[in-house]
Structure 1
Amino acid sequence: MALLTSVLVRGINNLSDARYCAGMGADGLIFTLDPALPGAVDAATVRELAGWVAGVELIGEFDEMPVSEINRLVEECGLQRVLLHQRPEAPLSVPALLHAPLFLITSNSLRNEMLLQYSPIFPAGLGVAASLNIDDLPEARQEALAEAATQFPLWLSGAITADNVAGLLNAIHPAGLILEGGNEIKPGLRDFEELEAVFEALEAE
């Protein structure tokens, strides 16, 4: 399925999500590999689920884990990218998305300071992920996000729905979206109603 923008799906922890999202045209699957984060999975689970899908990027999500351990898991799991919650203390072996607070991205001075401080430590490339509360996103912040999206790959996450996704794409022009996966009701059974609605809204005509 061709989509209007790139899509990553985070929180992948079951085969139903992995196969469904890959089949719906997602570009990447994000696995939480840091035990300090909720819903973390182990490397064996990532390798097992990855064996059932093809044509998608494998991404690991980390918080305060040392870079040496992140790079080890990148190698062990065959990750092509990472999503970080903290600025790493050393260069990474793959490109990274940095989960940054909205105020930092929408402030010109803070955003420029972030770019100066962070870019040298991301030699393989840096993207930024912003979590949005759609009900509290005034026009001025949308304009600031649109400006940020011209400076670096900006990925939007948060309360993204079938009703607001087209407006976000038109107003901000992000590099892509980060949607949320979910848990199976029981092995092999998963309710995809909300996720399916977003994918259908993103389907290119």
Structure 2
Amino acid sequence: MGVKLKVCGITELEDARYLAGAGADYLGFIQHDESPRYAPPSLASDILQWVHGPTPVGVFVNDDADTINEAVGTAGFEFAQLHGQEPPYVVDQVDCPVIKAIRVRHDASSGQLRNLFERYEDTADYFLLDTHDSSVWGGTGESFNWRVARELSGDYPLFLAGGIDADNVERAVDTMRPFAIDLSSSLESAPGQKSFEKIDTFMEAFQAAQADLEDTSYAPALILTPPPCPIPPLSLAQTPSLTTPATSAATAARSSRRS
């Protein structure tokens, strides 16, 4: 299974339909009315009636669970992305799968990030890492040090956001191996308005990154051929009886976690 693609900041039907045709897996609709990419539930609902394929995601900032659930029902969102400082009990009260966003400071350590993930791992279904900016909640267009979070992508279903574009998506995929790539401003001609040309350029780079990932992930089995050696024939006394049952045993352990 390859890396998924989520495009956020949808405000226009034409953009949503173009992205659906281009192969986006998730479309994000900002539910924070202070954002220039704000798409109220009624607008999102109107758009989604004419778009099929991608999973619709409502993106919320510091709303209570009742507000989130009402918007989810009105718009028809299938996922809720909580991009603020929502406590775990709010995440737990949301009626649909939740993507919990964690904003990464420039001096964050992998241990600090893991502590935040562990705080939400019993209530969130997915995580999203974005660059911290004290002036805005998202859409910064800036990346963070992906290597501090590399090991987390092996333990959690992770959306990677923050400054990803056609020029660095291959490095992002190779470094992080995330569940999904999330982007918004790098595909825009203006806030809330997607550029079809930028979408096409990005999709070409994204598909190339996917192909490279599949190539590096494939490791053919190594078949070792032992050197020839003489095998003495068995005497009748040494020949195994056809009535002697052959037995074998195998054990396997598999751990699972909520995803």
TM-score (norm 2): 0.66
Cα-to-partner distance string for 1:66-104 (whole Å, 9 max, x where unaligned): 111101111121211111122244221112222212249
The residue aligned with 2:116 is 114
Q: Which structure's CA Rg is the greater one?
A: 2
Higher helix share: 1
Cα-to-partner distance string for 1:19-75 (whole Å, 9 max, x where unaligned): 111000000110012224332122121111111111110100110221111011111
1:73-84 equivalences in 2 (<5 Å): 73-84=71-82
Change in CA separation of 1:4 and 1:118 when aligned onto 2, cut-off 3 Å: closer
Distance 1:157 1:30 in 2: 12
Distance 1:82 1:100 in 2: 14
Cα-to-partner distance string for 1:136-176 (whole Å, 9 max, x where unaligned): x5xxx433221111121221222222221111111111111
Q: Does 1:154 align with 2:154?
A: no
> Residue 122 of structure 2: SS of its match in structure 1?
helix
Matched residue type, 1:130? D
Within the candidate set 163, 183, 187, 2:167 is matched to: 163
> Residue 163 of structure 1: SS of its match in structure 2?
coil
User: Conserved in 2, the CA contact under 8 Å of 1:130 and 1:154?
Assistant: no
Q: Which runs of 4+ in 1 moved over 6 A?
A: none
User: Conserved in 1, the CA contact under 8 Å of 2:102 and 2:127?
Assistant: no
Matched residue type, 2:53? G
Within the candidate set 43, 46, 68, 2:41 is matched to: 43
- Between the aligned residues of both structures, percent identity stands at 24
Q: Does 1:196 align with 2:200?
A: yes
Matched residue type, 1:167? R
User: Conserved in 2, the CA contact under 8 Å of 1:4 and 1:202?
Assistant: no
The residue aligned with 1:126 is 126
Q: CA deviation at 1:105?
A: 10
TM-score (norm 1): 0.82
User: Conserved in 1, the CA contact under 8 Å of 2:42 and 2:74?
Assistant: no
The residue aligned with 1:59 is 57
Cα-to-partner distance string for 1:151-204 (whole Å, 9 max, x where unaligned): 21221222222221111111111111112154689xxx9632222211111225
Unaligned runs of 5+ in 1: none
Q: How many residues align?
A: 193
User: Conserved in 2, the CA contact under 8 Å of 1:32 and 1:62?
Assistant: yes
Distance 1:66 1:151 in 2: 28
Unaligned runs of 5+ in 2: 132-140, 212-259
